[in-house]
Every structure is written in structure tokens, then in C-alpha cells.
């Protein structure tokens, strides 16, 4: 059966409880379409955030205060802009890949590749946010306070964006096994 780019119809599996036998009735095509639609929604959220942040970063170099930054802060700025550009590329790439592969019956490959790009893009976005925060806080706060605050925020991101989902997945797997 051909895999198309049309939205999947709502199936009973989308409304089933974990472990419910009816949740296994989703056809491979429906699953691929549902996963693609989920990725598109997630991409819209992430793209908006990274594009706003990237636009802000690009404008910083043209402010009068930029000339007063030392070499370390300018280096942090350059790294931050490069991270922002890479995050933007990773988070927008699924759209470009979809355009090239539309109608090629490669939805499963598209979904898996988009998933990996989104995960990497979110990692790059976290680094971009952290380095942006570092740049701003180094200008505003004395000493090592900025570095400690940024470390705390990055730890928070790691917990919310990576550790918590992995923990929830592991917990669900244990409950299904029981």
C-alpha cells in the first residue's frame, strides 16, 4: 500500500489507554501519518522559538554596546550565533526533506529522520539558549555568578527535556511488563 502525505484519520488507538488491546489496531500507514503530523506540530513550536532567538542574536552585533565586549564575550557570541544557526537548520530540515521526498512512499524514513533532526535541533537549541544566557548574564552580573546560574538552567533543561521523558518511558515500560 502506498504511503501518502495526507493526514491520518482519527483511530481508536489515539484514544486508547496504554496497554489496551485496541491500541494495536493502528495500521502502519496511519501510524506513520500520525507520527509525521505530531512532528510537524512540535516543529512549529520549536521553529518559532529558535527563529525569534536567532533573530535577536543577529541584531546584537549591530548595537552600540557590542563594540565594548571583550574577546571572551565576543567568542561566546560567535559560538552562540553558530549554535543558533545550526539549531535553526536542524529544526527546519524536516520541512525541506519532506518537500524532496513527497510522493516517494518514504514516510517511515521521513518520520525517523525528522525525529532525529528534531532531537538534535532541541539539543542545539538548549545550547543556544544557555550560551545566550551566559552572554547576557556575564554583562549584567559580577564574577562567577553568571556561570553558576547558566549551569543551573542547563541542568534544568537536561532534566525537563531529556531525563524526565526517559524516566517516564522507563516507568511506562515497567508498568506494561507488570
Closest CA to 57 of 125, 122, 123, 121: 125
Cβ pair 36, 26 in contact under 8 A: no
> Residue 33's pLDDT is what?
84
Task: Output the nine-digit C-alpha cell for 163.
Answer: 531525563
**Per-residue model confidence as pLDDT tens digits over 66-87:** 999 999 999 999 999 999 999 9
Higher pLDDT, 123 or 101: 123
Got the DSSP string for 80-120? Answer: HHHHHHHHHHHHHHHHHHHHHHTTSS-HHHHHHHHHHHHHH
DSSP state at residue 63: S
Please give the share of the chain, as a percent, with pLDDT higher than 70.
Answer: 87
Distance CA 163, CA 1 (A): 38
- pLDDT averaged over every residue in the chain: 84
> Residue 15's pLDDT is what?
39
pLDDT at 9 over 50: no
- Annotate 47-69 with b (16+ C-beta within 10 A) or e (fewer): beebeebbeebeebeeeeeeeeb
Cβ pair 133, 149 in contact under 8 A: yes
Who's near 108: CB < 8 A, 6+ residues apart?
Answer: 3, 28, 32
> Residue 123's pLDDT is what?
94
pLDDT category of residue 11 using cuts at 50, 70 and 90: very low
> Residue 24's pLDDT is what?
65
Highest mean pLDDT (candidates 49-58, 89-98, 100-109, 152-161): 152-161
Amino acid at each position: 500500500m502506498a504511503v501518502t502525505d495526507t493526514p491520518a484519520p482519527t483511530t481508536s488507538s489515539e484514544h486508547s489507554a496504554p496497554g489496551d488491546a485496541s491500541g494495536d489496531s493502528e495500521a502502519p500507514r496511519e501510524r506513520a501519518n500520525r507520527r509525521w503530523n505530531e512532528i510537524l506540530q512540535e516543529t512549529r513550536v520549536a521553529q518559532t522559538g529558535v527563529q525569534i532567538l536567532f533573530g535577536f542574536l543577529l541584531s546584537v552585533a549591530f548595537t552600540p554596546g557590542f563594540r565594548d565586549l571583550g574577546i571572551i564575550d565576543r567568542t561566546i557570541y560567535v559560538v552562540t550565533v553558530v549554535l543558533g544557526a545550526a539549531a535553526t537548520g536542524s529544526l527546519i530540515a524536516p520541512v525541506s526533506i519532506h518537500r524532496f521526498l513527497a510522493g516517494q512512499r518514504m514516510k517511515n524514513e521521513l518520520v525517523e529522520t525528522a525525529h532525529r533532526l528534531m532531537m538534535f535541533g532541541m539539543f542545539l537549541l538548549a545550547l543556544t539558549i544557555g550560551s545566550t544566557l551566559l552572554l547576557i548574564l556575564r554583562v549584567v552580573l559580577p564574577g562567577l555568578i553568571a556561570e553558576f546560574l547558566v549551569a543551573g538552567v542547563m541542568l534544568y533543561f537536561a532534566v525537563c527535556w531529556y531525563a524526565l521523558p526517559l524516566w517516564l518511558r522507563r516507568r511506562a515500560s515497567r508498568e506494561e511488563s507488570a
